[in-house]
Structure 1
Amino acid sequence: MFRRLGISVYPDNSVFEEDLAYITFAKAQGFERIFMSMLEVTQGKAAVAEKFSKIISAAKALSYEVILDIAPNIFDELQISYDDLSFFAELGADGLRLDAGFDGNKEAKLSFNPYGLIIELNMSNDVAYLDNILTYEANEPYIYGCHNFYPQEGSALPLAFFNSCSKRFKKHGIRTAAFVSSQVATGGPWDINDGLPTLEMHRHLPVEVQAKHLFATGLIDDVIVGNAYASEAELVALGQLNRYQIAFTLDLLPTANPVEQEIVLENQHFRRGDITSQMVRSTQVRKDYKQENPPHDNEQIFQVGDIVIGNDQFGKYKNELQIVLEPHRDERKNKVGSIQKDELILLDYIRPWTKFRFKS
């Protein structure tokens, strides 16, 4: 399934002109969907319609997919029924995210709404919610899944629980989404905002590292920045991500010679299928590069995340690239750089035959 990037806007807590500038810049960076919260609406139906239709119209002109986040109280506030979704269709939305669930049959019926609105389900519960809905013969192409975000420090999901929840959706081929948190944005739906990630381990990481991690799990198709407004630098960094394979950010040593630099940065790497626990081995490069490689930076104990390349003392293994997984010493290998500390979490996703790249 194609992977996408998304942003969030909060029309009840923002100014239209600022929202417009934000979504326009994000679109230029390759963003394709918008999460738009309606949980905070307190005005009447006419005022809500005017405000939301204006920003949705602008988003649709930029070819965004727009999903509105709704809860039962919104229907009461706007005096509309779950049995008639015409209000949201008239706003121009592509779908509705149900913050709260029903009995399964209700969601299945909603997926057959006459307006073709996508029904996005809450993924952040490790129960058979989706299975129940599908039992009622839901319209599967119009069912998405999206995790929650968590404004309070310490309240977001642990990784193991996130994995379990996500696998319930992924096994059915449902499009999935989760949130990452800008490190500078302050906007959100509530008065508490310690960041808006899905995973607690992400809360204080650079936003592009969070996104790399979510994509690396293989469980998430759409990565959405939960808080607004992410900085232009953050949006650019996200837009430049390789969404389909891990591209480690590398601190390259100045002593790395030109051949080593080319081996590291200019090649498609993959881990051998017959793996070892001590290192990730990229062996094709040793077959492609026969140049001499004198020893340097080869007498220390290599640490987890170090990038080493076989030197002239390593015989047939000269110019083989390895990522260190367990500390060890071997003078037949030159250290050429290290994976940045924040990205060491990505090493868990380099499995047998996994493709990966480096950038400096």
Structure 2
Amino acid sequence: MHSLGISVYPDKSDIKEVYDYMETAAKLGFTRIFTCFLSIPDDKRESYLKEFKGFMDKAHELGFVVAADTNPEVFKLIGATPNNLKPFADLGLDIIRLDGNFGTQGDIAVTRNPYGIKIEFNASMDAGVDLLIKNGGNKDQIIMCHNFFPERYTGLDFDLFQQFNKQWKALNLHTAAFVSSHNDPTIGPWEVFCGLPTVEIMRPLPIEVQARYLLATGDVDDIIVGNYPASTKELEALSKINFQALELRVDEVTEITDNEKYIMYEFAPHWDRYDHSSFMLRSSFPRLQFKNQATVQDSGFGDKKEAKEDKSIPHHDCGKKVFTRGDILVVNDNLAHYRGELEVVLTEIPNDGERNLIGKVKDEDLGLLDFIKPGQHFKFIK
């Protein structure tokens, strides 16, 4: 089950603005909040934590689950210990994210608290969570969340990010990662000028594209905006993410026909054949309607998709001798047996006149093609 989240820093922001932001996010389906106790000056922590209960009441009223970054010093400040999380429970906190540890027995103790508080460990490093579980940690109250990185070029390597997530998923642990808003200005726990993503190569991408890359790996459950505040437009874009099918943004060619638009958009979701080709993704089901003038075809899922009455797909010349990665093709009348099949080019192939170019995957989305495995659903966004 996927969730969307925001980060808020009430100690650094006008509380009414924070509440307005939370209300906007809640209306758009966001259900997680991340905040940080670590950045609050020592001389202000005690008074802030007394006020924090009001923030928690508002968050719960709006349906949010709240996680706060803590460390052993925060525990001392509020009178908590690994064996006594009542002070956190009194605040209403749902998740304690541990920045630091209490040793093996202490970490086991926090995961076995009687309040149902989830303990969130750092997913961006090998935190020894597997050994913790083997030694008696309560797996039911352990979850994972990655770091975010304020400094440009310091974010997590994407391959390492995936490697860590496979490790957590092998333990059947819930995972979360951060994407970054491009709103200006934004803040984080400290001064932030370059955003707060988990993965460095995601830093410059539109926020919803960042999220689609993280989700495409198949090993990330929750997506949280690291910096505050994201724009309403960004929150809306995240709220529209399709968790069931990988989506690719495309630019249509001017020559695209109504039948070709129908194949590209109305036949969604597409899926690559199980007998996968290294040259292209093949969505073959559309050709059942365009192969000949046969009557309506049943998809096998209880629905019938009507093609246009004219099932011809005349050849149109795009001027390219070679199709390149990300080109979206439809087989035309020159290969009538396969007419209507949609194909997405992975490796260069010659233009032999049997396929029409109907669109191109946007450059920022090309990397998503690597994550479409045989049988996996995908869709196109104009």
Bin the TM-score by the shorter chain: over 0.9
Residue in 2 aligned with 1:86? Answer: 86
Matches within 5 A, 1:162-173: 162-173=161-172
How far residue 172 of structure 1 moved from its aligned partner, in angstroms, is 1.2
Taking the aligned partners of 1:64 and 1:236, their CA distance within structure 2 comes to 17
Q: Which amino acid aligns with 1:296?
A: H
Corresponding position of 1:129: 128
- Partner of 2:359, secondary structure, is strand
Report what 1:196 is aligned to: 196
Paired letter, 2:316: H
Equivalent residue number for residue 56 of structure 1:
56
CA distance in structure 2 between the partners assigned to 1:297 and 1:239 by the alignment: 39
Residue 316 (str. 1) matches residue 317 (str. 2): no
Aligned-partner Cα distance in 1 for 2:58–2:250: 39
Cα RMSD of the aligned pairs, angstroms, is 1.5
Give, in whole Å, the separation in 1 of the partners of 2:90 and 2:2. Answer: 28
Q: What are the Cα deviations for residues 264-294 of structure 1, in whole angstroms up to 9, with x where unaligned?
A: 0012210011111111111111113341001
Asked whether the 8 Å contact 1:128–1:168 carries over to 2, the reply is no
Structure 1 unaligned residues grouped into runs of 5+: none
TM-score (norm 2): 0.90
How far does residue 171 in structure 1 lie from its aligned partner after superposition? 0.7
Flag the structure with larger Rg. Answer: 2
Q: Which residue of 2 aligns with 1:175?
A: 174
Distance in structure 1 (CA, Å) of the matches to 2:148 and 2:276: 36
Following superposition, the deviation at residue 128 of structure 1 comes to 5.9
Equivalent position of 2:153 in the other structure: 154
- Displacement of 1:76 in angstroms is 3.8
Match runs of 1:106-125 below 5 Å: 106-125=106-125
Q: 1:249: Cα distance to partner? A: 1.3
Quote the Cα distance in structure 1 between the aligned partners of 2:259 and 2:210: 32
Matches within 5 A, 1:327-346: 327-330=348-351, 331-346=353-368
Q: What amino acid is aligned across from residue 280 of structure 1 in structure 2?
A: L
Assess if the C-alpha contact under 8 Å between 1:195 and 1:227 holds in 2: yes
Contact 2:112 / 2:137 at 8 angstroms: preserved in 1? yes
How far residue 77 of structure 1 moved from its aligned partner, in angstroms, is: 4.0
2:69 maps to what in 1? 69
User: What SS does the corresponding residue of 2:167 show, helix, strand or coil?
Assistant: helix
Contact 1:120 1:145 in 2 (8 A): yes
| Superposition deviation, residue 50 in structure 1 | 3.2
Change (3 A) 1:128 1:87: closer
* Count of residues paired in the alignment: 358
Separation (CA, whole Å) in 1 of partners of 2:45 and 2:196: 28
CA distance in 1, matches of 2:127, 2:48: 34
Cα drift, residue 107 of structure 1: 1.9
CA contact (8 A) 1:100 1:122 kept: no
| Secondary structure of 1:144 counterpart | strand
Task: Verify the 8 A CA contact 1:11 1:51 in the aligned structure 2.
Answer: no
Alignment map for 1:1-360 (pairs within 5 Å): 2-42=1-41, 43-44=43-44, 46-125=46-125, 127=126, 129-185=128-184, 186-267=186-267, 268-290=269-291, 291-300=311-320, 301-330=322-351, 331-360=353-382
CA distance in 2, matches of 1:252, 1:9: 39
Partner SS for 1:24? helix
Query: SS in structure 1 opposite 2:254?
Result: coil
Post-superposition Cα deviations, 1:5-42, rounded to whole Å, max 9, x if no partner, equal 11101122111111111111111111111111111122
Tell me the SS of whatever aligns to 1:335.
strand
Report the secondary structure of 1:104's partner residue.
helix
Structure 1 residues 297 and 71, CA, compared in 2 at 3 Å: closer, same or farther? farther
Q: Are the equivalent residues in 2 in contact too, given 1:216–1:245 (CA < 8 A)?
A: no
Deviation at 1:232? 0.5
SS of alignment partner, residue 227 of structure 1: coil
CA distance 1:71–1:46, change in 2 (3 Å): closer
Measure the CA separation in 1 of the matches of 2:127 and 2:176: 18
Q: Is the 8 A contact 2:244 2:377 kept in 1?
A: no
Does the CA-based 8 Å contact 1:187-1:228 persist in structure 2?
Answer: yes
Q: Tell me, in whole angstroms, the C-alpha distance in 1 between the residues paired with 2:6 and 2:374.
A: 33
Q: For residues 22 and 289 of structure 2, what CA distance do their matches in structure 1 show? A: 45
Q: Is the 8 A contact 1:179 1:197 kept in 2?
A: yes
| 2:96 counterpart SS class | strand
| Superposed CA offset, 1:209-232 (max 9, x none) | 010011110111001010010000
Which secondary structure does the structure 1 equivalent of 2:19 belong to? Answer: helix
The Cα shift of 1:46 comes to 4.6
Distance 1:89 1:187 in 2: 28
Task: Label 1:287 to 1:10 Cα distance change in 2 as closer, same or farther (>3 A).
Answer: same
